[in-house]
């Protein structure tokens, strides 16, 4: 057995049977639910619990990230939506029409994350427009985190079902 064959057997290039894909999926969603609008959620919990300086720190951090998110959305939003839509469309066609498993896996990672990115822009705009602070800000960030987690759970469930289907189909075909 040569070195090349050992590497290819160790690193299976089929996405849904590859442990690294599932680790990446878990890391993506745990990171997305921990960093709410670019702010670590433990800051929200600390601000709710302690108030005072922790609350001011949270408000400053949210103000910075909200300003940054909305600046990017206003300056490059159309380009980002255009390129993102083209990328997602390309992945969907390559994956589900032409059967490329890697494209399917990337689509199942990227599409739900694009929903979270859209939610980030909407939530940032609400925070700025309503001038949220204190408990109202914490409640908005908690609600945002909840919906991010819902999207993540649905995404992981759908990806797991599709991955099992792909693995069973591959096995049934004698792969």
Check residue 55 and give its pLDDT.
93
Residues 6+ apart with CB under 8 A from 145: 33, 36, 41, 44
Q: Is the pLDDT of residue 52 over 80?
A: yes
Check residue 2 and give its pLDDT.
73
User: Cα–Cα distance between 152 and 14 in angstroms, integer?
Assistant: 22
Cβ–Cβ under 8 Å, residues 24 and 159:
no
pTM score: 0.86
Check residue 38 and report its DSSP letter: T
Sole residue written with tokens 């490059």: 76
Report the interhelical angle of 41-50 vs 134-172 (nearest 10°).
Answer: 150
Over the chain, what is the mean pLDDT? Answer: 91
Residues 6+ apart with CB under 8 A from 33: 41, 145, 148, 149, 152
Check residue 17 and give its pLDDT.
80
Check residue 3 and give its pLDDT.
74
- Per-residue pLDDT of 60-113, as tens digits, reads 999 999 999 999 999 999 999 999 999 999 999 999 999 899 999 999 999 999
Q: Is the pLDDT of residue 6 over 80?
A: no
Stretch 159-171: mean pLDDT, rounded?
A: 86
Check residue 169 and give its pLDDT.
82
Q: Which comes out higher in pLDDT, residue 169 or 5?
A: 169
- Per-residue pLDDT of 26-50, as tens digits, reads 999 999 999 999 999 999 999 999 8
- Per-residue pLDDT of 119-132, as tens digits, reads 999 999 999 999 99
Would you list the domain boundaries of the chain?
50-172
């Amino acid at each position: 057995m040569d070195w090349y064959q050992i590497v290819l057997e160790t690193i299976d290039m089929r996405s849904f049977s590859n442990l690294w894909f599932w680790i990446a999926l878990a890391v993506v969603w745990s990171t997305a639910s921990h960093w709410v609008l670019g702010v670590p959620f433990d800051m929200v919990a600390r601000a709710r619990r302690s108030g005072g300086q922790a609350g001011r720190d949270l408000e400053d951090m949210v103000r910075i990230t909200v300003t940054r998110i909305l600046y990017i959305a206003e300056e490059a939003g159309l380009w980002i939506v255009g390129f993102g839509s083209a990328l997602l469309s390309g992945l969907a066609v390559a994956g589900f029409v032409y059967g490329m498993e890697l494209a399917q896996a990337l689509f199942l990672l990227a599409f739900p994350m694009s929903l979270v990115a859209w939610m980030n822009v909407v939530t940032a705009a609400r925070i700025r427009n309503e001038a949220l602070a204190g408990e109202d800000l914490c409640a908005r960030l908690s609600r945002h985190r909840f919906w991010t987690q819902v999207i993540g759970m649905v995404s992981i469930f759908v990806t797991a079902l599709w991955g099992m289907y792909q693995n069973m189909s591959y096995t049934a075909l004698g792969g």
